[in-house]
């Protein structure tokens, strides 16, 4: 019996939410918690940062390049099996990482761990979409989004505590109880849905997509040091475009593609993916630049910096479930537009940061950025998952996760390069020691110009989303008019 023949059963929806929240939390916290440990790992393994940084890079590259294939496999064989398998692999990988005796062993086990993370992160929204009725989808995805914020906030703090009181091994061992609980919840409460049989996996499409994404991610990663005009970066970008073109050609000719491009014919699906990508570019670029502003320009201590950086994710986590619930009542598009409007206002405020901004003034400027992102993300994700065909929820979920990852990667690479480039322009040439060593006045001008570009970027996203809202309302009015004209007139007879 196929999944389409089984009526939905919403009685276990909160248990499914708990299982997905655990997986999402682990996938989020495991990035930020390891970032904190990089200096410790350099000393523990007597290695160089250039090698140790691959503990993070190998994880991110593996997750990003596998997500689309995971989504397709889930639509072929069932989401429960793939998700539960991912939790098992992630938990075993965490144990192996904590037991590693060399930096190369740790990097290898991080790749293994990331395979499980890709299986978990790619399918979380799909499982929630199936577990909750459409009238509660926004709130449910908002709660899931709040767990992302929780992981962002707790990661650095928990990592610092574990490194101070225990050892680096425990930043991986801490995943074990959560992972085991997640496996038990998935096995016990996530319903088994069997997709239709006679499906084939598009290996040619998977390979070309993998090479394309890997080339792009490597280019964006190494361009932060060598610049986008370096020959190896240009070669990687060329590889990205060549294999992306090959992937599109293969998918259009395939009878069972990994990505059905027909999904993008749905304007609601496409517009929300684009605006979601744009918002993550802005957020990631902002978060990578703010520590340099707080420490290098304002001269704040690390504790103050950590607290101020938590303003955005806390605000986002608090408002995301509320905006999701509101979108269930009022529709996703108006709430998404309101979120982008708040996001735009927040970035306009951030563009006024100067050399004398107080911590309170900083927090008040970043607060609407977090609120706007929280208001926008829940209904936006709900719209994407609601517009996807039920038989392709796995792929839709993985596309959603991939746009988030690519947005963050592009934002960090492009906006940090823009900030460094503007700093060199105002400095009058190459800055010895890099942009972070430039005079504070130079850094703040470069920061303001970079944030001004973000303002324009978000304004474009707001215009696109507003146009989609207008078109949506026009189409609703047209359908209503057609129904009224096709309905036969009624006459009241005389008594």
pLDDT at residue 194 greater than cutoff 90: no
Q: How far apart are CA 184 and CA 211, in angstroms?
A: 35
What does the pLDDT read at residue 493?
52
CATH superfamily of domain region 264-473: MFS general substrate transporter like domains (1.20.1250.20)
pLDDT at residue 211 greater than cutoff 50: yes
DSSP H helices in 388-439? 393-427
Mean pLDDT, the chain, whole residue set = 80
Query: Tokens representing 82?
Result: 């793939």
What does the pLDDT read at residue 433?
66
* Average pLDDT of the residues in 81-90: 88
Using DSSP's 3-state secondary structure scheme, residue 193 falls into: coil
Nearest to 218 by CA among 259, 288, 210, 273: 210
Query: Tokens representing 10?
Result: 């919403």
Neighbours of 239 (CB within 10 A): 17
Between 448 and 130, the more confident residue is 448
pLDDT band with cut points at 50, 70 and 90 for residue 3 = very low
pLDDT band with cut points at 50, 70 and 90 for residue 226 = confident
Between 309 and 472, the more confident residue is 309
pLDDT digits (tens, 9 = 90+) for 117-127: 888 888 878 88
Q: How far apart are CA 344 and CA 315, in angstroms?
A: 16
What does the pLDDT read at residue 49?
66
Q: How far apart are CA 119 and CA 100, in angstroms?
A: 23
Q: How far apart are CA 58 and CA 34, in angstroms?
A: 12
Residue with tokens 């926008």: 376
**Percent of the chain, pLDDT > 70?**
89
What does the pLDDT read at residue 347?
92
pLDDT band with cut points at 50, 70 and 90 for residue 1 = very low
Q: Which CATH class is domain 9-197?
A: mainly alpha
Q: How far apart are CA 166 and CA 177, in angstroms?
A: 17
pLDDT digits (tens, 9 = 90+) for 280-303: 888 877 777 887 788 778 887 767
Neighbours of 432 (CB within 10 A): 8
- DSSP states along 30-68: HHHHHHHHHHHHHHHTT--HHHHTHHHHHHHHHHHHHHH
Ranked by mean pLDDT, the top range of 50-59, 317-326, 363-372, 407-416 is: 363-372
What does the pLDDT read at residue 2?
46
* Average pLDDT of the residues in 21-48: 76
Between 279 and 395, the more confident residue is 279
Q: How far apart are CA 422 and CA 449, in angstroms?
A: 8
pLDDT at residue 129 greater than cutoff 50: yes
What does the pLDDT read at residue 5?
47
Q: How far apart are CA 234 and CA 232, in angstroms?
A: 5
pLDDT at residue 81 greater than cutoff 90: no
pTM value is 0.79
Query: Tokens representing 98?
Result: 């904590």
pLDDT at residue 355 greater than cutoff 60: yes
pLDDT band with cut points at 50, 70 and 90 for residue 228 = confident
pLDDT at residue 92 greater than cutoff 90: yes
* Average pLDDT of the residues in 271-284: 85
- In contact, 441 and 297? CB cutoff 8 Å: no
pLDDT at residue 494 greater than cutoff 60: no
Residue with tokens 């096995």: 187
């Amino acid at each position: 019996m196929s999944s389409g023949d089984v009526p939905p059963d919403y009685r276990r929806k909160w248990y499914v939410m708990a299982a997905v929240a655990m997986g999402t939390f682990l996938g989020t916290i495991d990035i930020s918690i390891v970032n904190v440990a990089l200096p410790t790992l350099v000393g523990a393994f007597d290695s160089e940062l250039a090698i140790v940084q691959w503990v993070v890079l190998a994880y991110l590259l593996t997750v990003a390049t596998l997500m689309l294939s995971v989504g397709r496999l889930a639509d072929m064989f069932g989401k429960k099996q793939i998700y539960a398998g991912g939790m098992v692999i992630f938990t075993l990988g965490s144990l192996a990482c904590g037991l590693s005796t060399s930096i190369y062993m740790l990097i290898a086990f991080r790749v293994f761990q990331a395979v499980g993370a890709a299986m978990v992160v790619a399918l979380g929204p799909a499982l929630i979409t199936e577990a909750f009725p459409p009238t509660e989808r926004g709130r449910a995805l908002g709660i899931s989004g709040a767990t992302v914020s929780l992981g962002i906030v707790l990661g650095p703090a928990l990592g610092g505590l574990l490194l101070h009181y225990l050892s680096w091994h425990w930043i991986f061992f801490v995943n074990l109880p959560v992972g085991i609980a997640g496996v038990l919840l998935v096995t016990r409460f996530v319903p088994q849905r069997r997709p239709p049989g006679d499906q084939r996996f598009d290996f040619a499409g998977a390979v070309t997509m993998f090479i394309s994404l890997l080339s792009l991610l490597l280019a964006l990663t190494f361009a932060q040091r060598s610049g986008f005009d370096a020959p190896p970066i240009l070669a990687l970008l060329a590889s990205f475009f060549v294999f992306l073109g090959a992937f599109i050609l293969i998918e259009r000719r395939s009878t069972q593609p990994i990505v059905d491009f027909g999904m993008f014919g749905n304007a609601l699906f496409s517009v929300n993916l684009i605006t979601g990508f744009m918002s993550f570019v802005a957020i990631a670029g902002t978060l990578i630049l703010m520590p340099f502003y707080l420490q290098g320009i304002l001269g704040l201590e690390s504790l103050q910096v950590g607290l101020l950086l938590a303003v955005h994710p806390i605000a986002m986590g608090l408002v995301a479930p509320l905006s999701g619930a509101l979108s269930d009542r009022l529709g996703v598009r108006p709430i998404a537009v309101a979120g982008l409007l708040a996001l735009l206002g927040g970035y306009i405020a951030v563009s006024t940061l100067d050399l004398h901004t107080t911590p309170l003034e900083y927090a008040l400027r970043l607060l609407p950025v977090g609120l706007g992102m929280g208001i926008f993300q829940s209904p936006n994700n709900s719209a994407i998952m609601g517009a996807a065909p039920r038989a392709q929820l796995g792929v839709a979920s993985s596309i959603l996760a991939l746009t988030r990852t690519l947005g963050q990667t592009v934002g960090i690479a492009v906006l940090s390069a823009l900030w460094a480039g503007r700093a060199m322009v105002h400095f009058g040439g190459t800055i010895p020691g890099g942009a972070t060593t430039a005079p504070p006045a130079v850094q703040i001008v470069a920061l303001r110009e970079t944030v001004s570009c973000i303002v324009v970027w978000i304004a474009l996203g707001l215009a696109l989303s507003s146009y989609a809202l207008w078109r949506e309302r026009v189409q609703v009015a047209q359908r209503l008019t057609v129904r009224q004209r096709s309905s036969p007139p009624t006459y009241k007879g005389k008594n």
